């Protein structure tokens, strides 16, 4: 299993980097490329941080915001501050 690094922060410039073994295949290739976790604080590990480009660093947060077991909202962290606040799907209006 490959480890994936991911960063969390509050936006103040101080970040914390974590690393976990990939345990979920989000790309559908048969290779684990994401880390399951409870990103949204629901108490269930039904969210994921996804390394969509295979470089060992998570670049997409995939969340199950309605608790139905399906990842339904996707975010990126373009600032690199670990806030994961740029929604890419569904497109925010």
Asked if 18 and 29 count as a contact pair (C-beta separation under 8 A), the reply is no
Asked if 31 and 21 count as a contact pair (C-beta separation under 8 A), the reply is no
* pLDDT at residue 92 in the model: 65
Domain that holds residue 9: 3-89
* pLDDT at residue 1 in the model: 66
Q: Give the mean pLDDT per block of 10 residues along the chain (93 residues).
A: 93 97 97 96 96 97 95 97 96 68
* pLDDT at residue 25 in the model: 97
Nearest-CA neighbor of 82 among 43, 39, 34, 36? 39
Q: What is the pTM of this model?
A: 0.93
Domain total for the chain?
1
């Amino acid at each position: 299993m490959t480890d994936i690094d991911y960063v969390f922060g509050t936006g103040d410039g101080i970040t914390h980097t974590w690393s976990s073994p990939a345990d979920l295949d989000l790309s559908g290739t048969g290779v684990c490329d994401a880390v399951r976790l409870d990103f949204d604080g629901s108490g269930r590990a039904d969210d994921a941080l996804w390394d969509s480009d295979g470089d060992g660093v998570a670049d997409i947060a995939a969340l199950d915001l309605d608790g139905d077991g399906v990842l339904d909202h996707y975010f990126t962290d373009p600032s690199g501050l670990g806030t994961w606040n740029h929604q890419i799907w569904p497109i925010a209006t």
